[in-house]
Amino acid sequence: MKLKDLLNGIEVERFSGRNGVEIKGLKCDSRKVRPGDLFIALKGSKYDGHDFVEEAVERGAACIVVDNQGHPSGVLGDSLVVVKDTRKILSQLCKNFYSKTIESLKLVGVTGTNGKTTTTYLLESLLKHAGKRCGVIGTVNYRFLDRCLPASNTTPGLLDIYDLLDQMKKNFIDYCILEVSSHSLEQNRIGELLFETGIFTNLTAEHLDYHKTLEDYLKAKLRLFDKIKEEGCAVINIDDPYSKVVKNKILEKSLRLLTYGTKFRAEAKAEEIYQTLKGIEFTINFSGKRFKVRSPLIGLHNVYNILAAFSCAASLGLGFSEIIEGIGKLSIVPGRLERIDCGQDFLIFVDYAHTEDSLKNAILSLRNLCKGRLLVVFGCGGERDRTKRPLMGKVASELADKVFITTDNPRGEEPKEIISEIISGIPSGIKNFEVIIDREEAIEQAISEANPGDVLLVAGKGHESIQVFRDRVIPFDDREVVRKILEGKENGKF
């Protein structure tokens, strides 16, 4: 694309060089610049891209974009563009550069505190069953066809999103499902993208270290519905306490609305719910039509996730039989009540639950199916929302028979201080907990205490494969740790 076309619609304060230069790509990380790229210098919380202009030029950048406070030095490639704020024009640059390749790609956005990942997996399953080529950008990974990239964030940076979508479109992908985090909405990491359908799953306290108040957190979530196409649809959980606010926002935008739930009147309502360790069965009453659903997933919260996926698929015009069959084909979501079976005489589940609400849902789902005691291993992440720590301690201690409090990803905080805040929420009369700082030791101790018929929940990290400390990052996957311990027990090494 010619530079002059790329700058269409962007207010330029100063320009020098050749506006006819050919731009081959967009980069805001100087280390990724290739010959012919345009480098946008962005100011971040830790680094300022203006400090890396010379490196970008050395790597072959054809054009440099800086803001009027930047002070680049040295040779500046073929062209230099000065704007008022580079971050504010980034979304327009992406739209101009990528729009021709991704404009026909159908996007679905899923936002909410809990349930995003499972909902995207369900949508992926039913879309594939319906013969659609599908990609996913989410918490676990970014994937399409046989490609799978590790996820650095639930929603990646703006340039990364557009680049992924561009790759998907070039591989003839029909739909892309995105988990849209509150951070990405607040920071406009979805740019000028427009969605066919937007889903709101629920809202509970989370990320208050960033958003400060629950009201600000909700406002960030609501921004997704400013990004729905005029002919698009909004799908919301009508049972959620904040659904009224979300519904009013959608009505203001005059969007088509589909509601789902189990308690109140909804377009898609779950009835006759039956739960076992083999899965869930229920009936979806959808605008007077009834559909029997059978899924290997367990727990009432997955009834809601299935309703969300069903409603979204209906809004996209998929056939009901394809939807129901596609839902039933999804047997596992990585790190979401994932069962670890090595032949032991008790049950172990690994789950990503890292909020009060998600931990409560996971425990209650297993409690309803537990014949013996329910044991829980969990911790809380460092340098993250501290307000949820005592709340999670209270929930775990009140709902489980025995709790092993340990580390999660302590990052730059002292594990003992995090654990102390967790314990502060446990009612004074409850003594059913034990502190074991080392996470592997905590899991091992919990397994050693499990009796036949018990259920053990290892919560907080789910699909994650590392543990992050102040001075190091180590390989750590709860699922692999559990298997290693169980295999050692089976071989008499326990």
DSSP state letter for 362: H
Handedness of CA 479, 480, 484, 487 (dihedral sign): positive
pLDDT of residue 312: 98
pLDDT confidence tier of residue 204, bands split at 50, 70 and 90: confident
DSSP labels, 85-140: -HHHHHHHHHHHHHHHHHTT-EEEEEESSSSHHHHHHHHHHHHHHTT--EEEESSS
Q: Is the pLDDT of residue 74 over 60?
A: no
Segment 367-388 shows an average pLDDT of 94
Which of 38-42, 219-223, 320-324, 336-340 is least confident? 219-223
Segment 446-474 shows an average pLDDT of 96
For strands 147-150 and 141-144, give the pairing.
antiparallel
154 or 180: which carries more pLDDT confidence? 180
pLDDT of residue 57: 92
Segment 25-50 shows an average pLDDT of 92
Q: Is the pLDDT of residue 186 over 90?
A: no
Q: What angle do CA 316, 321, 323 make, to 5 degrees?
A: 45
pLDDT of residue 190: 87
pLDDT confidence tier of residue 73, bands split at 50, 70 and 90: low
pLDDT of residue 362: 95
Q: Is the pLDDT of residue 16 over 70?
A: yes
d(CA 304, CA 350): 20
Average predicted confidence (pLDDT) for the chain: 92
pLDDT of residue 19: 86
pLDDT confidence tier of residue 405, bands split at 50, 70 and 90: very high
Q: In terms of C-beta density within 10 A (0-12 exposed, 13-18 middle, 19 or more buried), how is residue 293 classed?
A: buried
For strands 279-286 and 289-295, give the pairing.
antiparallel
pLDDT of residue 112: 92
pLDDT confidence tier of residue 76, bands split at 50, 70 and 90: low
- Over the Cα atoms of the chain, what is R_g? 24
CB 57 within 8 A of CB 75: yes
Q: Is the pLDDT of residue 77 over 80?
A: no
The pair of three-digit structure tokens given for residue 220, joined into one six-digit string: 């960030």
Place of tokens 């704020």: 85
Segment 118-142 shows an average pLDDT of 96
CB 378 within 8 A of CB 395: no
pLDDT confidence tier of residue 45, bands split at 50, 70 and 90: confident
Handedness of CA 377, 214, 150, 152 (dihedral sign): negative
153 or 481: which carries more pLDDT confidence? 481
Contacts of 288 (CB under 8 A, 6+ apart): none
Maximum distance among all alpha carbons in the chain? 75
pLDDT in tens, 418-448: 999 999 999 999 999 999 999 999 999 999 9
Q: Measured in Å, how far apart are the chain's first and last C-alpha atoms?
A: 63
* Helix, strand or coil, per DSSP, at residue 351: strand
pLDDT of residue 214: 84
pLDDT of residue 209: 66
The fraction of the chain above a pLDDT of 70, given in percent, is 95
pLDDT confidence tier of residue 207, bands split at 50, 70 and 90: low
pLDDT of residue 47: 85
d(CA 230, CA 371): 51
